[in-house]
Amino acid sequence: MASMIQLRDLLALQGRMEARQLSQSLHTPQPMIDAMLERMEAMGKAVRIQEEAEGCLSGSCKRCPEGKACLREWWALR
């Protein structure tokens, strides 16, 4: 299980990563990574970067039954 310091260090080295990538790299369950990232965001140490819906070539993201699951979300240090 990874600590918040290890999570911060990995983000510092990589620049920005998705929560799924962080989970795999640190061998930690994704719900735990999500909780740590949200806590870091509340502390002002991390920022969430969300992909814009305009990037969808077909324009079907707005009608997507997955609820915009195709849009990527990254995390980076502030």
9 is in an annotated binding site: no
On whether 56 is known to bind a ligand per the annotation, the reply is yes
Is 70 marked within a binding site? yes
- Residue 62, SS3? helix
Secondary structure element (H or E) that encloses residue 77, with its range: strand 73-77
- In the annotated binding site, the residues are 56, 61, 64, 70
- In the annotated binding site for iron-sulfur cluster, the residues are 56, 61, 64, 70
